[in-house]
Amino acid sequence: MSLTSWKKISPHSDFSIYNIPFGIYSDAEVKHRVCSAIGDEIIDLQELYQNGFFKNIPIENTSVFEQRYLNDFIDLGKLTTSAIRRRIQELLSDANTELQSAHHLHSKIFKSIDKVKLLLPLRIGDYTDFYSSEYHATNVGKMFRDPNNALLPNWKHLPVGYHGRSSSIFVSPHSFYRPNGQTKPADAEKPIFGPSKLLDFELETAFVIGKATQQGDVIPVQQAREYIFGMLLFNDWSARDIQTWEYQPLGPFLAKNFASTISPWVVTMDALAPFYIDAPPQNPEPLPYLRQKPLQNMDIQLEVYLRIPDGSETLICQSNTKYLYWTMEQQLAHHTINGCPVNIGDLMASGTISGPEPHQFGSMLELTWKGTKPLRLNNGEERKFLQDGDTIIIKGFAEKDNIRVGFGTCEATVLPAKNLSF
């Protein structure tokens, strides 16, 4: 269905009338409220609710739009949240004059995104990071193991993942301190302590759990989509030198848990529904509980920009979620096959999303091939890994048949490590 808004929106805007994402905002007048976005403005959903624009939608929790996080809103259930999204689209349609003619309410309902603060949208109880890009896993295997046997034996049989730290997930834009930790240089007999020298980003997306389960419950792969509320952009910052020393035998720990960044807008699966495409074939065929039919990925274009302290920006990566080997539904089915419960607001991240070509590699580790091929930036500088003052900006959008749905930006800046003495 073709939609046109009475609001003036750039054709390149992430927040078209086809999107209607959800987030949380605050400003001088509002402590925290649920909001959506259209063009370069936020939409205050509490104001819409108070003024009767949702009167035909049964909303039992009358304070749901004034909560600090989206969890209670998501808990209304997809029937209700989808109805709210469709109602917002209806109110913004140029064929509808209800809100268009209510000029006295516009200044309360619509506010410039630049003049509000977008808050962490979710109360994230748990976060899991997967390792679902065959191109990324193969690149890492070639660099650190046998180039002829880059993938470990289990990789094509199950979605590999690890449990991350939700307390260090921050909303874009923010800054964080370079992590300190143990590393062991190749020429050293013992480990040393100090700031990470091989700081890296990881280009990822994440999906948000929209329905809780109990211990012992299993989410079948064919029903997994019902449990996914929406998606956002994700950056799983990594300290490669700390990781190399610590990860055996249990995997990532201090090399990952110091910071992760998410974009402030949760884009619903309703908005993303037009952008499903066939996923790459899986060989060997996975076990029955992972056999998804049809096997589908999202077609979301992803870009990574590196901004250095002088303000110049360089596009360093262009990738796409279509390159993921394991799908979101398979990740969720595998996560719960042992009876692990999930809760509303939990995050499941994709792992680094790399494509087949060098410009599609989703980390500095790959882009510079472990520092052996430095990146040439637009101002003439080079980077092997990230330096203090560098900013990584991730952007993502899906586009098809003149329908554009975007995610905004996922941005964070590296601060110098704290000076520690013992």
* pLDDT value, residue 145: 87
The residue among 119, 136, 168 that closes a domain is 119
> Do 221 and 74 belong together in one domain?
no
Residue 254 covered by a domain: yes
> Do 183 and 109 belong together in one domain?
no
What band does 150 get if pLDDT is binned at 50, 70 and 90?
very high
Residue with tokens 């211990």: 215
Among 65, 52, 68, 16, smallest CA distance to 37 is for: 16
> Do 161 and 257 belong together in one domain?
yes
Residue 282 covered by a domain: yes
> Do 41 and 173 belong together in one domain?
no
pLDDT greater than 90 at residue 2: no
> Do 60 and 115 belong together in one domain?
yes
> Do 299 and 175 belong together in one domain?
yes
> Do 247 and 335 belong together in one domain?
yes
Neighbours of 332 (CB within 10 A): 26
* pLDDT value, residue 1: 72
Residue 272 covered by a domain: yes
The residue among 95, 119, 143 that closes a domain is 119
pLDDT digits (tens, 9 = 90+) for 295-310: 999 999 999 999 999 9
Q: What pTM, to 2 d.p., does this model score?
A: 0.97
* pLDDT value, residue 390: 98
Q: Measure the CA dihedral 268/121/119/162, to 10°.
A: -110
pLDDT digits (tens, 9 = 90+) for 262-286: 999 999 999 999 999 999 999 999 9
Task: Supply the CATH number for residue 260's domain.
Answer: 3.90.850.10
- Domains: count for the chain: 2
Active site residue 174: no
Residue 97 covered by a domain: yes
> Do 316 and 404 belong together in one domain?
yes
* pLDDT value, residue 422: 84
Owning domain of residue 103: 23-119
pLDDT digits (tens, 9 = 90+) for 340-389: 999 999 999 999 999 999 999 999 999 999 999 999 999 999 999 999 99
Mean pLDDT of 401-411: 97
Cα angle: 118, vertex 120, 125; to 5 degrees: 165
103, 104, 106, 136: the catalytic one is 136
Q: Pick 201 or 248 by higher pLDDT.
A: 201
Residue 341 covered by a domain: yes
> Do 295 and 271 belong together in one domain?
yes
What is the C-alpha to C-alpha distance for residues 243 and 251, in angstroms, rounded to an integer?
8
Residue with tokens 């989808």: 82
> Do 386 and 257 belong together in one domain?
yes
Residue with tokens 């309360």: 108
28 backbone dihedrals φ, ψ, rounded to 5°: -65, -25
Please say whether the beta carbons of 1 and 273 come within 8 A: no
Cα angle: 301, vertex 305, 308; to 5 degrees: 175
Beta-bridged to residue 302, according to DSSP, are 319, 396
pLDDT greater than 80 at residue 245: yes
